[in-house]
Structure 1
């Protein structure tokens, strides 16, 4: 699993709104998961099943997770990518999933930094 922890200052609800907007700006849908985190998805399952990596970057089904923690009063948002993310697209799909995850990390980090909310970030291999 690959993950990024964003340590966020300020109001937690406002920070969640900023995070959701940053994820959506990259074409992802955000849905609340049963444990209170988010399911972050983009693309078509059927296109990916039928076409694999040929579904293209915007149509390949990609699924990531966002979890939330409290650390000494700060909101910690953890963006996760499982090792099998993009596997329906074969080797190309897995590679694309990693590339899109990096782009998503940069977009989220840039927006949090721009708004002065990012206290720290930790990347996990």
Structure 2
């Protein structure tokens, strides 16, 4: 008489442990994908804000503008998103130059996404 062979395969307990490990790994991967997607949106907002700040400085230079000392605020849409900007112009020791700081924000937020500084000059008489 032959001895009975024990069927081969996984036990229920081994299967449940494997499924638990798989569930933990998939949850971690899903969270990592969510974080990466959120950061991609943040990077895109910062890039658009940088472009807005560059555009504001370039516009003043292109118009040969010599802005008055003070602050100016406005809103602009870039990439289908609304942003708020603030331009602060300060006088320099040399009266032929002005310093302009441009900060770009998301609406309702106080931390700037981008900050650029430029110098504006006028011709000497």
The structure whose Rg is larger is 2
Task: Return the structure number with greater relative CO, CA threshold 8 A, min gap 6.
Answer: 1
Q: Common fold, TM-score beyond 0.5?
A: no
